[in-house]
Structure 1
């Protein structure tokens, strides 16, 4: 029994060939309790079968037993010649748990490796591939069973142009000159396509420095390389675009530091773009604090709105038009030098002011000249009217009186001759008749030159008198349409309008072959409108200013044309105008428009 010390911390048992417990040390009691047996009693059936199996085979074997939360490794050693079997137990609970944890960790690690975008490849000291992850299968296209135990040279794997460089790096690592490296090269896939890869390699060596394996992690950077190329192209295009901008251009981050500034902008203060990057705008340009520049910059930054404004430089004498755009970085500023435009605007304002002064001067001179012309026209009308009145007075007070005296003398002579000479009496009667006709002509001429009604009545009364007189003399019915007296304070204008209406009515009588005529007076805003219309033969408005009259002589045509032109000219002298509406066979309508308000009327008693 000395071979089975009681102090052995591990369980030790001896059982007979038929499974009866012959001996057990103190450490084995936990096993016996688990099996519910003791010294001299048989083991449970399943364990007796294991004992029988060991005797049958004649070799030792192992079995696992879980007992009260512990795990034991039992070694069954048959001593065939003595017909018993020794059981040596060892508590392997901690080892077992460690193995399970390790297995779990390895399983998790393998899962991470398989799910990783990286390809995991390991090599032994002879360059043979010993590990080929699922990521490697996806990346390169070969299955693990197609590459394991093969070397790099057994596969068309490394691009020919990169093969020498890769071989040199590998040789350094396998020779122990480097323990790790990282490099980029091109690799072939199984289908022959080329991908860009980054390799991260590390060598594992034992305590004596002997190489155990090399582990490589491979990242496919093909898409990244393409993106980098596209980004580089985009950056190149962006730089070309930025370089082509002929205005100031810069970007400020949320801390008011320059993130970008083009050379055109920085050169204005004699600096380079790199002198601005990372520097605060308010520290570099403190004079802009509290100005329209800071106000608009902060509004764009804080309110995220586009701001446009103009400002004069604080560090230059130039004017700028600034547009501020909110951006992800902060704000982007585009500034255009508008100094030339501002100078041009200032010059334009000065020119406009000078022009305005010149216009005011010219307007004043025009007003003065207009007043002079108006005064001259009034004076002319007054002089003509005075001369008409003088002639009318001569005709009435002198010539008519002389004719009356001659007629009286002829009457006496007629009475004397009647008794003695009948022939002379008839001659005297003819002379009396001619004198009566001459007297009538002078009377009419006197009235025509200076109608007595012009001195006492308003314009409507004067035209009414004129219409009645012309109706009597020429047989033309003339209707007057006037709501009021239409008496004007300016006598010269009163006379002018009367003479214009009389001239137009004479044209109707002489040329229009009309059956009737109408004269209408009307106030219109600040104008007096006088309309003279007839139902005569009319004339083309776009032709010469003359009625269509087949019976008119050439002199009458000229007289009519010059009459209308004269009326138009006289009206213009008083600021008026004449409008003509006519057509062949459709009558004529002539409108006189003169600037005069009802407030310019004078009080005239109506009877």
Structure 2
């Protein structure tokens, strides 16, 4: 039943019922019901209709209105995401692509001039940033799964991140997201994305388990793979490990703890926060 139909029923039904009552009353019940008693019965009938039929119709109307509001909010969110994706594509992504082309051209000119190439590090950084920006554009354009109340949950987004990273991930998400700010959700998902991409690039893993537990006051997220692992802790301090460095910067800025431990055949990345500490 549509919103308009419900409104018309609410407006018409009381009038029809009162009209039928008055017709029956004056045509058949005048000898049995006095004028005073009839005038008393009329509001009683209206009250009974209101607490039975009309009450249910108003509840249905509120539910339909809430669904319409959720749909409008969803549409507004999609339009905002599409606008942001378009701005990223027209601005940052195009500029990064042009910069990478100029770096390649400069390196070719240096090679032809006999100079030693010194742009490898810069080119690698630009290509990495370009990849992140294009992944962000793709995420903005993708609407994502929604829970029963129409909200996109972090658990759903983690599943999509695993698909993007092209890793076989088992997601167990029991993290209560109430109270998390939009920025906290963005930063946490960015760290999980980086951990998943590191698994694909470096771990040679066939399986990843992503587990989120806790609430706003105390929570942790574990990303565990069954890859090769590493024995030397200095591996984490390698200047080429941009992803780990970015994760550390993000977690430190948010006041979270990041720990990375490894043994042969397994690596565990844990992001956690305890408000009481």
Q: Greater CA radius of gyration, 1 or 2?
A: 1
Could you state the TM-score of these two structures normalised by the residue count of structure 1?
0.22
Tell me which protein shows more strand as a share of its residues. 1
| Larger relative contact order (CA 8 Å, sep ≥ 6) | 2
Could you state the TM-score of these two structures normalised by the residue count of structure 2?
0.46
Tell me which protein shows more helix as a share of its residues. 2
